[in-house]
Structure 1
Amino acid sequence: MVKLSNITETIPVPEDVTVTIDGNDVTVKGNGGELTRNFNHNKIAISQDEENVIVSVAFPNKKDKAMVGTIRSHISNMIYGVKHGFTYKMKIVYAHFPMTVKVKGNTITIDNFLGERSPRLAKIIGDVKVQVKGEDVTLTGINKEHVGQTMANIEQATKIKRRDPRVFQDGIYLVDKTQEEIE
């Protein structure tokens, strides 16, 4: 088996976004905000030239090659997030018991889910903004992982247990993932 001597991935950086690399820490600043992340991996080197971020590894094995692609995707998502942002749209669905959804601090409270007396709670991760209008829930933020995890927390909070999900289809479900321009 012949090992490759070097794997290199380049990520173009737009003009209105600045990327700063300090060891394993990558900081991305744009008109939407600032994101910082530590990529601590022994063999992988992150560097930058005038207009690109370069992720490389020397003499990689299979896992190192996969990690280069993963880090490239994370940095690309950070750049896209501070430039455009991420918006997830969810829909509140109920048949018999109308549920009410409220945002209180960094938690989302779901009352009267399937007629239950105690409210269900979902945690908001990071600085994700949650808006509830009627049957629509909108999640916006610059960190794709925080927006996605908040969406998953809401879906898990309304997971139906001990009932047939084909009959009881109540819950809060993802309808649309979009990326919108930050002004």
Structure 2
Amino acid sequence: MSRVAKNPVTVPAGVEVKFGTDKLTVKGKNGELAFPLTADVAIELNDGQLTFAATNDSKHANAMSGTVRALVSNMVKGVAEGFEKKLQLIGVGYRAQAQGKTLNLSLGFSHPIVYEMPEGVSVQTPSQTEIVLSGADKQAVGQVAAEIRAFRSPEPYKGKGVRYVGEVVVMKETKKK
């Protein structure tokens, strides 16, 4: 059995978990998330804890039991607490401004970049060089952060660009004559 699947997922108060034969739904204060289930994984809810087990001894079922456990754990945490990614802009004239569901970026190009936020992800800009993304779906928040970072990823000589807060950019030395 998968080592990850051996650990049960504790369902906190205020989070409601429903599952049938084809999908699992988790509902909490931050929203509702759904996940399609496979026949390879058996899920049980006992005393506020979700347990996962492979239905047969195949390698695929064993792997899927750990994968489903990790995904459901992230769903429960997302609807209870939410996920957050912070980005910072390094560079002269690099600015960000949130307006509702859009993010306006000025990253040194000849044109401004207007990024539409997908459903379930919200954006805030505490300052002109900080971006805070939040939402219940860990995958969606991470994907949006990666797409914003890809507009101008940090370059290795001056470190200018969009980077995650706490990201270490290894700087190169310039060529000497």
- Structure number with higher relative contact order (C-alpha < 8 Å, ≥ 6 residues apart): 1
CA RMSD of aligned residues (A): 2.5
Q: Distance in 2 between matches of 1:8 and 1:94?
A: 44
- 1:119 corresponds, among 109, 112, 125, to 112
TM-score, with normalisation over the residues of structure 1?
0.76
Instruction: Give the aligned length.
Output: 163
Q: Determine whether 1:100 maps to 2:98.
A: no
Q: Distance in 2 between matches of 1:48 and 1:156?
A: 41
Matching residue of 2:144? 150
TM-score, with normalisation over the residues of structure 2?
0.78
Q: Determine whether 1:166 maps to 2:160.
A: no
Matching residue of 2:77? 80
Residue segments in structure 1 that go unaligned for 5+ positions in a row: 178-183
Matching residue of 2:171? none
Q: Which runs of 4+ in 1 moved over 4 A?
A: 104-107
Aligned residue runs from structure 1 range 1-183, under 5 A:
9=6, 10-39=8-37, 41-95=38-92, 98-103=93-98, 106-111=101-106, 113-114=107-108, 116-132=109-125, 133-159=127-153, 165-175=155-165
Q: Distance in 1 between matches of 2:164 and 2:112?
A: 21
Comparing 45-54 with 84-93, greater Cα deviation is found at 45-54
1:121 deviation in Å?
4.7
Residue segments in structure 2 that go unaligned for 5+ positions in a row: 168-177
Comparing 134-143 with 168-177, greater Cα deviation is found at 168-177
Q: Which amino acid aligns with 1:25?
A: K
User: Counterpart of 1:59 in 2: which secondary structure?
Assistant: coil
Structure 1 or 2: larger strand share? Answer: 1
